[in-house]
Amino acid sequence: MSSRSKITILFQEVYYFLLIMADERNFRSSYYEKVGFRSVEEKKSLEILLKEQPFDKAKLKQFCLRFTVPAMYRNYVWKILLDVIPVYAESHDFIMMQRKIEYETLQKSLRVAKIIDDNTKPQVIYLMMWLLRTRRAKLDISAQMELPLNSRAMCRMAETVWNVLDTDHEEDKCVDVYWILCGLFDQLQKFQIEVGRLQECAYTLLEREDPDLSKHLSKIEALNSLPFDIWFFSCFAGVICDGSIPKIWDKITVGAYKVLVFVAVITLTTLRRALLRSENLDSVLDTINNMTEETSEVIVNKALESWQQSGSTLTSISQTAVYNV
């Protein structure tokens, strides 16, 4: 046998070996995920990243794009990614002390001006504080709160952030919730003008994935009346259950807004049986707004899978690829 033939056979053997190993790894990954081991591996990976000094935000962003942030680290990681605290761990105590002082000053100012009182809902207080801090507050701030974007979308987010964040001290939680909300609100401002295009992407993707459902929703005049703007502005707060929505917001913290398109479409296709029986918009909205926690979890997992398959490294909707979903 010639040397060339031996080399060819050797390459073939290596190739088949790698295929077998790849299949085995895929099987193992699937099995580990089913029995809950994958989250253990992800936790260890994140802990390694959090031991780096200073933190590498690029690596943390890549982690959030690929995985779900473990609940015990979510508060901390979100604060880093949303610039609530710096990448230098030794500065965190001082920075959070300053954040707390500013939090108390803003709230006191609103109370002195009699804009808020003890009966004002916490989510409304947070939003008013953000408007004041970012110099967006108008003379009649109460009237400003009547705007759909502010009063509905952002208040939904405030309530959801309060429910999903886990801290040991109630006072610290108030401060953390407010500053994380500020970071999320700032993210929303970046893609606010693109919501219309996201909505067009959702129409296109739904028609491609489930043309029958798309035609039915159009026929009953529901498709163009669905509250996509509120869904996108609130990042599905109040629609997706609180137990599942952090997986989506892990991506929002790094600016991966394209994921919202997939959440919208997968929500509709997952509920297709009930939606196909719906005869008007109210019936459609009633089905969507009364999802079980189990259904929310299924939707989120499917949406993330579809989003990743489409190219999850996309973090800006201004890029051309987002319109080719």
Provide the residue range defining the domain that includes 47.
Answer: 3-81
DSSP 8-state code for residue 151: I
Window from 71-75, 131-135, 145-149, 242-246 with minimum mean pLDDT: 145-149
Whether 321 shows a pLDDT value over 50: the answer reads: no
pTM of the model: 0.81
Does residue 76 sit in the same domain as residue 102?
A: no
Does residue 177 sit in the same domain as residue 271?
A: yes
Model confidence at 194, in pLDDT bands (50, 70, 90)?
confident
- Predicted confidence at residue 323, as pLDDT, reads 35
Q: How far is CA 79 from the centre of its chain?
A: 14
Model confidence at 148, in pLDDT bands (50, 70, 90)?
low
Sequence-separated (6 or more) residues with CB below 8 Å from residue 264: 202, 228, 231, 232
Window from 46-60, 154-168, 212-226, 302-316 with minimum mean pLDDT: 302-316
- Predicted confidence at residue 149, as pLDDT, reads 62
- CATH number of the domain that residue 68 is part of: 1.10.10.750
Does residue 112 sit in the same domain as residue 254?
A: yes
Domain boundary among 81, 106, 139: 81
Query: Mean pLDDT in the chain?
Result: 83
- Predicted confidence at residue 319, as pLDDT, reads 41
Does residue 262 sit in the same domain as residue 120?
A: yes
Whether 12 shows a pLDDT value over 60: the answer reads: no
Whether 31 shows a pLDDT value over 70: the answer reads: no
Tally of structural domains, the chain? 2
Q: Quick one: CA torsion of 213, 214, 216, 220, rounded to 10 degrees?
A: 140
- Predicted confidence at residue 48, as pLDDT, reads 94
| Integer angstrom CA distances of residue 294 from 209, 240, 241, 277, 297 | 22, 10, 9, 21, 5
Does residue 95 sit in the same domain as residue 59?
A: no
Provide the sign of the torsion angle of the four alpha carbons 257, 309, 302, 322, taken in this order: positive
Does residue 73 sit in the same domain as residue 185?
A: no
In this prediction, residues 62-88 reach a mean pLDDT of 95
Does residue 50 sit in the same domain as residue 101?
A: no
- Predicted confidence at residue 150, as pLDDT, reads 60
- Residue 121: left if φ>0, alpha if ψ -120 to 50, beta else—which one? beta
Does residue 73 sit in the same domain as residue 101?
A: no
Of 129, 93, 126, nearest in space to 113 by CA: 129
Pairwise CA distance, residues 241 & 248, whole Å: 11
Cis link prior to 246 (omega < 30° from 0)?
A: no
Does residue 311 sit in the same domain as residue 230?
A: yes
Does residue 65 sit in the same domain as residue 35?
A: yes
**Which percentage of the chain shows pLDDT scores above 90?**
61
Model confidence at 1, in pLDDT bands (50, 70, 90)?
low
Of 224, 147, 236, 244, nearest in space to 184 by CA: 236
Domain boundary among 38, 64, 81: 81
Whether 103 shows a pLDDT value over 50: the answer reads: yes
Tell me the pLDDT tens digit for each residue of 170-180.
778 899 999 99
Pairwise CA distance, residues 119 & 139, whole Å: 21
Tell me the pLDDT tens digit for each residue of 240-274.
999 999 999 999 999 999 999 999 999 999 999 99
Whether 36 shows a pLDDT value over 50: the answer reads: no
Sequence-separated (6 or more) residues with CB below 8 Å from residue 322: 197, 198, 201, 258, 261, 314, 316
Pairwise CA distance, residues 270 & 265, whole Å: 9
- CATH number of the domain that residue 127 is part of: 1.10.472.80
Does residue 101 sit in the same domain as residue 68?
A: no
| Range picked from 25-39, 154-168, 201-215, 309-323 for highest mean pLDDT | 201-215
Pairwise CA distance, residues 178 & 158, whole Å: 8
In this prediction, residues 20-45 reach a mean pLDDT of 51
Whether 98 shows a pLDDT value over 90: the answer reads: yes
- Predicted confidence at residue 58, as pLDDT, reads 95
Domain boundary among 26, 56, 81: 81
Tell me the pLDDT tens digit for each residue of 116-131.
899 988 888 998 899 8
Pairwise CA distance, residues 111 & 126, whole Å: 13
Whether 188 shows a pLDDT value over 90: the answer reads: no
